[in-house]
Amino acid sequence: MYFYTCGELLLDLILEPDGKLNAVAGGSQVNVALNLAKVNQQVQMIGLLGRDGPGDLLLTKLQSNKVDTSLIFQDQAYKTGLAFASLDKDGKAVFDIYKATFNDAVFQIPYPVLDAKSVISFGSMAAIDPVWQAFLRPLLQMARKQWSLVFYDPNIRCDFKAESEAVKVIENMWQSNIIRGSDEDFLKIFGTDDADAIVQKAALSPDQILIITRGSGDLDCVHQGDMFTFPVPALPVVRSTVGAGDAFNSGFLFAWSHLKLNRQSLLQGLSAKQLGMLVGAGLSFARDVCQSSGNQISDAVAERAKALVSFPAT
């Protein structure tokens, strides 16, 4: 299986409650790429960087962690974005993002050659940017034609305009096979976090998977008309929530690869046991990130994941 992560590349500046400032590679799809590479998955990042210091730093970080960067285009006129995250005493992050809008340089990015073993992961506010969405459409159409899997995380930020932008999110949902978002995401998009209501409002098909995470609350999953609820074990300490959702997506996709699932598996319908293993892997990765100050999984969890054959749901 070969993974392609598509999205914005950012330099994250994370301010901890004690005043310590960490600078790390960021952007949700960058986190997914780095996590998947850590567990020995073949992964390629698709995106745009500036020819500047942050851009060079991010490119080096990806390459040194065995992420293929040949589908990243560096443009002189584009400025690599920065994300400033301040953490409260409970480790919850508040983001301020400083980035240029996408320009026509995105159309210099070559498209990959896809097949039934390809997986595309995309999302965040970049996925509803008019220029980036115009680049994405042919890629997602190609994925559908070639029976590649598409995984979408809306990852909505505070500047989301539901009146004009919800339709763009729904378009992305239609193009995807698996949608994973937080309750906060769906409240901003649809005004509800009820899974059945979201399936109806977005007109999702039975073979798609909708996953709603609720922080420390129970996780809901809808597939083939059935609702599955998984408890989320409590953590003794939450140091930071930065990258937790991205880590969940990474664990889910790692388990998807390990179980050798594909688009046909969705049409046939996944069992509760299979969904539990996928969700369990996602929760394992997310729990690890929540207990560190970084935004990617630790080496220890990566090594344990590579050694495991299956993942419990709790």
Encode pLDDT of 247-304 as tens digits: 999 999 999 999 999 999 999 999 999 999 999 999 999 999 999 877 899 999 999 9
Q: Provide the domain limits for residue 234.
A: 2-307
69 three-class SS:
strand
Query: What is the 3-state composition of the chain as percent helix, strand, coil, each rounded to the nearest 5?
Result: 40, 25, 35
Contact (CB, 8 A) for 3 and 42 = yes
Give pTM, 2 decimals: 0.93
pLDDT at 162: 73
pLDDT at 198: 97
pLDDT at 311: 53
204 falls within a domain: yes
For residue 104, the domain's CATH number is 3.40.1190.20
pLDDT digits (tens), the chain, 314 positions:
999 999 999 988 877 777 778 778 889 999 999 999 999 999 999 999 999 999 999 999 999 999 999 999 999 999 999 888 777 766 677 778 888 889 999 999 999 999 999 999 999 989 999 999 999 999 999 999 999 999 999 998 777 787 789 999 999 999 999 999 999 999 999 999 999 999 999 999 999 999 999 999 999 999 999 999 999 999 888 888 878 999 999 999 999 999 999 999 999 999 999 999 999 999 999 999 999 877 899 999 999 998 874 455 44
44 falls within a domain: yes
Contact (CB, 8 A) for 13 and 32 = no
Number of separate domains in the chain:
1
312 falls within a domain: no
7 falls within a domain: yes
Query: What DSSP assignment string belongs to 191-244?
Result: S---HHHHHHHHT--TTSEEEEEETTEEEEEEETTEEEEE--PPPS-----TTH
Question: Which residues does 167 contact at the CB level (< 8 Å), separation at least 6?
Answer: none
Q: Which of 41, 23, 27 is nearest to 253 (CA)?
A: 41
- Here the tokens at position 223 are 């597939």
pLDDT at 314: 43
Question: Which residues does 226 contact at the CB level (< 8 Å), separation at least 6?
Answer: none
158 falls within a domain: yes
313 falls within a domain: no
Q: What is the CA 67 to chain-centroid distance, rounded?
A: 16
149 three-class SS:
strand
Question: Which residues does 117 contact at the CB level (< 8 Å), separation at least 6?
Answer: 1, 2, 148, 262
